[in-house]
Structure 1
Amino acid sequence: MVVFPNAKINIGLNIVEKRSDGFHNLTSCFYPVGWCDALEILPASAIRFESSGLPIPGDSTHNLCLKAYKLLAQEYSLPPVSIHLLKAVPIGAGLGGGSADAAFTIKALSEIFSLNLSVATQQDYARKLGSDCAFFIENKPNFCFGKGDEFEQIDVRLTGMHLVLVHPGIHISTAEAYAGIRPKQPAHDLQELLQQPIDQWRTGVVNDFEEALFSTYPLLPAIKTELYQQGAVYASMSGSGSTLYGIFREAPNLSNNFVDFTVWQGELT
């Protein structure tokens, strides 16, 4: 089976408080986008994981796809599989690529081996692998809260709008991003802000990570400014960075912009 784990963007991201378990409570709108990896899972004589495309740092035995398999194998008699991940979504970019890979592994294994796992059960497994993972089980726009693993339906309609993602090649670890954060209650309710026309988001829908990271990496606010100059109706950093995105009413011609960076463009659904 071949599946295509896709990235997500954060539309607004407020870090509201630090939890007793060391994590943070947040509010955000997660929105799936078309930039994706390719994940192949096949029956095999022994469990095997390999990857191609973008290099994945660290020991491959700790890859989230493999962890997802082992998590399910603890409770179900899963035959060995061969997992191949073609990595295209940048790592440490605020796009949830690794979390998507883990969630799609859970979904694929449930289908391949007829586990018939409910959405809720798959989400419970995904939560054990990472805060963003559970979102990718349903993989639809949601208002997220808690650690980013609890969801409410939200009516954010961007179908037909054009998205530009710009990744400048800066890897920002979660620890680095949170080091500059002082949790606080947002001045305005994010759910209410997102019900306003997208033209009004610029003044109220914010990513709390931008304040600290923009001063550390001046390239990031420069990219955001350029996206607005090219006609974006809303632009922001996604997650804890370093990818910036712009939402446009029409597909922009950026052939002479961002030539030194990785750029993805596509229509939102």
Structure 2
Amino acid sequence: MITFPNAKINIGLNIINRRDDGYHNLETIFYPVNIKDALEIVVADELSFQSSGLEIPGRIEDNLCLKGYHLLKKDFDLPPVKIHLHKHIPIGAGLGGGSSDAAFFIRLINQNFNLGMTDMQMIGYARKLGADCAFFIQNKPVFAFEIGDEFEPVKLDLSKYQIILVMPPVHISSAEAFRGVKPSPVKESLMDLIYEPVSEWKKYIKNDFEISIFKDHPEIRGVKAALYEAGALYASMSGSGASVFGIFDKTPDLSGLEEDNQVFY
């Protein structure tokens, strides 16, 4: 069976404080976007994983799909499967691609082997694989808080706009992003600000990672500026970067950005 894990963007990201366990409390809006990987599982004689498309860094055994299989195998009688992941969602981009792959893997296993798990059961497994993995089980816009794994639904529909994503040739690790951020309490929650008109978001909604990331990587700041110059109603780095998205009410001319960056329409 084949499924197509999609990416997400963060609309706003406030780092509120550092927790005693070393993580950070935050708040953000997760919104699914139509940039997708392809994930296939086939029953096989032994468990295996292979990938194509973009090169996936790290050890194969650390891939979240494999970790998801071993996690489910503890509770269910699963046969060995061959996993093939075609990677298209940029890596190190703040788009949650790896988390999406893991969540869609859980959903695919549940469907293919008739495990009968509810969404809440699948969310429970996904949370063990990463803070934002659980979002992709239901894959609908949410206000995310605590470490990014607690959700409240938001009524947000951007389908009348065009969301364009730009990936510069830069990789930002989560460690680098958090190292430069300065937590601070919020004066007004994103849960309220997200209902302001999109054209007003740039006045109120920010990504706390941008301050240090833009300082160290001015080319990312330049992408955001270029999106506004092209007519974006709102532009922001997604998550901890390095991707930047723009929300437009009409198709812009981004030919100048296409020379040095990946642009996803």
TM-score in terms of structure 1 length: 0.97
Partner of 2:215: 215
- Whole-Å separation in 2 of the counterparts to 1:258 and 1:20: 43
Query: Residue type matched to 1:208 in 2?
Result: D
Deviations 1:149-204 (A, max 9, x none): 11101122212210110000211111100001121112322111111111110011
1:178-257 correspondence runs (5 A): 178-257=178-257
Partner of 1:130: 130
- Whole-Å separation in 2 of the counterparts to 1:222 and 1:25: 29
> Tell me, what secondary structure is at the counterpart of 1:31?
strand
- Whole-Å separation in 1 of the counterparts to 2:195 and 2:14: 17
Question: What is the deviation of 1:258?
Answer: 3.0
- Whole-Å separation in 1 of the counterparts to 2:190 and 2:127: 23
Partner of 1:100: 100
Query: Residue type matched to 2:222 in 1?
Result: A
Deviations 1:211-253 (A, max 9, x none): 1110010111111010001010000000000000000011223
Deviations 1:28-51 (A, max 9, x none): 000000001000011111001000
TM-score in terms of structure 2 length: 0.98
Contact 2:169 2:260 in 1 (8 A): no
Query: Residue type matched to 1:259 in 2?
Result: E
1:1-269 correspondence runs (5 A): 1-265=1-265
Query: Residue type matched to 2:108 in 1?
Result: A
Query: Residue type matched to 1:53 in 2?
Result: G
- Whole-Å separation in 1 of the counterparts to 2:19 and 2:104: 28
Question: What is the deviation of 1:254?
Answer: 2.1
> Tell me, what secondary structure is at the counterpart of 1:200?
helix
Contact 2:106 2:122 in 1 (8 A): yes
Question: Structure 2: any 5+ residue segments left out of the alignment?
Answer: none
- Whole-Å separation in 2 of the counterparts to 1:221 and 1:254: 16
- Whole-Å separation in 2 of the counterparts to 1:136 and 1:167: 21
- Whole-Å separation in 2 of the counterparts to 1:17 and 1:179: 13
Question: Structure 1: any 5+ residue segments left out of the alignment?
Answer: none
Query: Residue type matched to 2:45 in 1?
Result: S
> Tell me, what secondary structure is at the counterpart of 1:109?
helix
Query: Residue type matched to 2:172 in 1?
Result: I
Query: Residue type matched to 1:9 in 2?
Result: I
- Whole-Å separation in 2 of the counterparts to 1:43 and 1:253: 46
**Percent identity of equivalent pairs:** 51
> Tell me, what secondary structure is at the counterpart of 1:207?
coil
CA RMSD of aligned residues (A): 0.9
Question: What is the deviation of 1:2?
Answer: 0.5
